[in-house]
A and B are shown apart, each in its own frame.
Chain A
Amino acid sequence: MTIRTLRDHGQHYRPRMACLKKVEAFVVEMQDPKSGVKASDQKLNITSIPHVITGQDILAWIVTKMKVTTEEAQAFGTMLVAYGYIYPLQNHRKLVLVADSTLYRFQTPYFWPVQKWPAEDIDYAIYLAKRNIRKKGMLEPYEQEHYNNLHKWMNYKWDFIVMQATEQYKASKERKKPDRVVLDCQERAYWIVHRPPRRTHSGMDYGLDRLIDPNAEEVLTYDMVRRTNIFLTQALMRSAVKSSVSLTAFVKYVTTHHTHDPLLTNPVPSNPWITDNDEFWQLNMRNVDIPTKLSVERWALSFWELISDQRGRADFKLFLKKEHSGENMAFYEAAEEMRWGAATAIPEKSQFIFNTFLKPGAPRWINIDGRTMGLTVKGLDCPHRYVLDAAQTHIFLLMKKDTFYRYLKSPVYKDMQKKALVPAPHNFTDAQLEANAKNRNPGISPIVLWQQQEAEKAAAAVAARPIDVKAMVATNKLDRK
């Protein structure tokens, strides 16, 4: 049967299959007797089956019609088979399009995925029962499993199911042999798509249903509209930036980062995933002595890039130590820790931060304006994780706008630029690549690295603590004789 028109079936129970409408348009065109895929009759086990198409014809038609490459057409063709619009005649369990003389047929619209009725279990039970009646032991193992399951939990309806199956079996016996074969093929194809056997990937297997029904009318309550209005009013109060300004910023970002993107510019010495050699990662580790030139260049792009790279942050801290303004970075880190840390640790941390950075005469007193200081200290009475936000922003902007630029001009950074490594690109022969693939470096577990880092931090915290003179005298460390 040829289909010439496309009807909207509403898809009321197949919510997210909007793609199927577009697919159907194609399928209808494909079946056009003049401009569609050419069909022929094929002999299959004595009977002659009409309207059979070959895989390569389908592929050629898709390539011409959609103006795509063969591979893309292959992907689309596979989708057609996976959703059950076309079914294979011979290897009926593999729902892919094979681009040779493999035979396919168009599925009848009765069995198309968009129809209003879902593939219910009861229909499946009737189908399996019918096949069982026709010839016992004809069910495949996975079908037998389904059958047993359905028999168990649909037991109360089983008489009805058997009755229906017998009726359908009798009706099919009345039909002519070719029709019967075709109908059997169609029905079998339908159930392969809707109850796929193991290792068959069917398009109807679309995962969990989402809670909301897209066909349900959206009910706008009073409250919702008021909230929308408040949101819109606020949006109008906010200022936006001109497109030319923000889009130019994207282009600038992409251009400056082009050389740092390993997928666009080959990384030196080599991309570990391609050559199976992880030297690239080893050269960029947190605690490496001399960083690579590319890393050092990246630090100069922005303050955020500098402190996001752990090696860069270490270098920056070295510079701050020389400038005797390490307290800014320390405060920033402490504030970050409080913001992202556990809720129970907040009172303790806020106390520590106050004593170390904020109280008058504190050992690492940070220099922020009086107003911010006043607000922060007042807020510390009832500390919450965002209490240091104002001070943190002030310090961050200070470092970003002033200290960062001085860092870039400093001997610390210039020295690092000179010392930075430019690793030679790897040039592995095929034999070496094979050897690499066999000897992939397992690396260090991140858990171990984390423990190392924590130990270092603890040691640094102890070292940074102000020296308690009384305690030292008590332990006789200061000999005053």
Chain B
Amino acid sequence: MSLYPELSFNVDHGYLEGLVRGLKAGILTRSDYHNLAQCDTLEDMKLHLQSTDYGSLLTAGNEDLTVSLIDHRLKENILTEFRCLRSHSLPPLSTFLDYITYSYMIDNVVMLITGALKQRDVAELLPRCHPLGMFDQMAAVGIARTPAELYSAILVDTPLALFFQDAVSEANLDEMGAEIIRNKLYKAYLEAFYKFCQESGGATKNIMCPILEFEADRRAFIITVNSFGTDLSGVGRSALYPSCGRLYPEGLRLLARAEDYEQVKAVADYYPDYKLIFDEPEAGSSRTLEDRFFEREVKLNTLAFLEQFHLGVFYSYLKLKEQEARNIIWIAECVTQRQKSKIDNYIPIF
């Protein structure tokens, strides 16, 4: 690591950073959302999106316009942009971008395992995997019977092998086990990514660490909330909490002991940022806890664009774009299901 990474940053990543900042300018604004929310049919939405950076994304092809088609096109769009960035990138940016894809790979693996447990056909499952997390050996995941087999036979060649050390066990795979594998993998993944960002230093560290800390804490909260009513014990839970968040170590210990939602809320009260999230929303707003977490995430990600010469913009851009896709899908769903009252529940970005 050189003394002033800003000096040489543009040599390797200047073009891509410029590109991603240009792409960021195409993210839909509040007025775009406002216009979209006024639409009565998907055709109207299509007309509106035409005047944005999406251009003729939805007009190509003459299939009937459905929400799933929009979803598919949006995902494809993100994928194209990401592939373009990835194929032009140099280390350390390429490693950084690979790290981003690992989280999707984890999700895909777990989805394939649960799919295989339910005796689904692989050919039916594959198209439902997130395209950013595709890898060669993916198709064979369903064959494995135990996590150990999964690791030693299939995932050992993939980048995910690094995260697998804690998750190896001889127990048979079941649905609960798959969930636990997901969380263990995620824990290892987040910690590794956090370490990578910390080692990068400079602005990358300043930007990415808060985002990843938040991500880790969000997982800890959600694991805790979701574990109520299952047979996952406090000890079992604490093995799943990522240890790179702001909750570590005291907050995590408290969370492990929590028995109901009120106690989780009490833990969050110690942290001003999370207190805001857990506070009762004002009357009339129908935001769920998840929505408020997303809102906070969007806020953190928009901050990334305030600094230059760091890799965080790539992560943030991808996440914001995903949020945008979620927003558009939400609006589209509301439009097709005639739920105009809920249409404003999207999370505006800029």
Check if A and B associate.
no
By a beta-carbon cutoff of 8 Å, the part of chain A in contact with chain B is none
